[in-house]
Structure 1
Amino acid sequence: MRLRVEFTTEPFDLDEAPGHAVVAREVIRTADLDAVDVGPFGNTAEGRADAVIAAVDTLLRRSLEAGATRVSLQVNVIPEEDGK
């Protein structure tokens, strides 16, 4: 199974990325994931279910420790090419 995760961390700072956002992005960039896209207002990544779940666990723990007061995320199953 493959999953897609979309996430944001708060509070926002439009002048520079807060520490919790930097930590969250680093977690995703260094995880064993595919198609990572980070941006100022949202981030997405795709990968094997076990890799996405492990990355989300680390992302939550580390970004909260770094000062995030809210983490919003959505996880979707990516349909396999054969329709399963």
Structure 2
Amino acid sequence: MRLRLEFTTEPFDLDEAPQHALVAREVVRAAELDAVDVGPFGNTAEGTVDQVVAAVGDVLRRTLDAGATRVSLQVNVIGEGAK
């Protein structure tokens, strides 16, 4: 099964990327994920169940440690049985 992860971290800072956003980008780029797209208002990536679940755990732990006060995420099934 393949999943798509979409997430954002807050609080936002329009002048420069906050530390938690930089950490989120680092985590998702270092994970074994495909179709990684990082942006100023959200990030997406795709992978297997194990890859996405591991990345979500790392994103939550590391961004909260880096000062995020909110992490919003969504995970969708995109392949092999997606309806």
1:79 offset after TM fit, Å?
A: 2.7
Give % identity: 78
Q: How many residues align?
A: 83
| Pair 64,36 (structure 1): closer, same or farther in 2 beyond 3 Å | same
CA distance in 1, matches of 2:14, 2:26: 19
Matched residues in 2 for 1:58 and 1:50: separation?
12
Note the alpha carbon deviations across 1:21-77, whole angstroms, 9 max, x for none.
000110000000000000001110000110000000000000000000000000011
What's the secondary structure of 1:40's corresponding residue? coil
Question: Please, which runs of 5 or more residues in structure 1 have no aligned partner?
Answer: none
Give the TM-score taking structure 1 as reference length: 0.94
Structure 2 residue matching 1:64: 3-state secondary structure = helix
Query: What's 2:44 paired with?
Result: 44
- Give the match's secondary structure for 1:13: coil
Correspondence for 2:4? 4
Give the TM-score normalised by the residue count of structure 2.
0.95
Which runs of 5 or more structure 2 residues have no equivalent in the other structure? Answer: none
Coordinate RMSD, CA, aligned: 1.4
Work out the CA distance in 2 between the residues paired with 1:68 and 1:48: 26
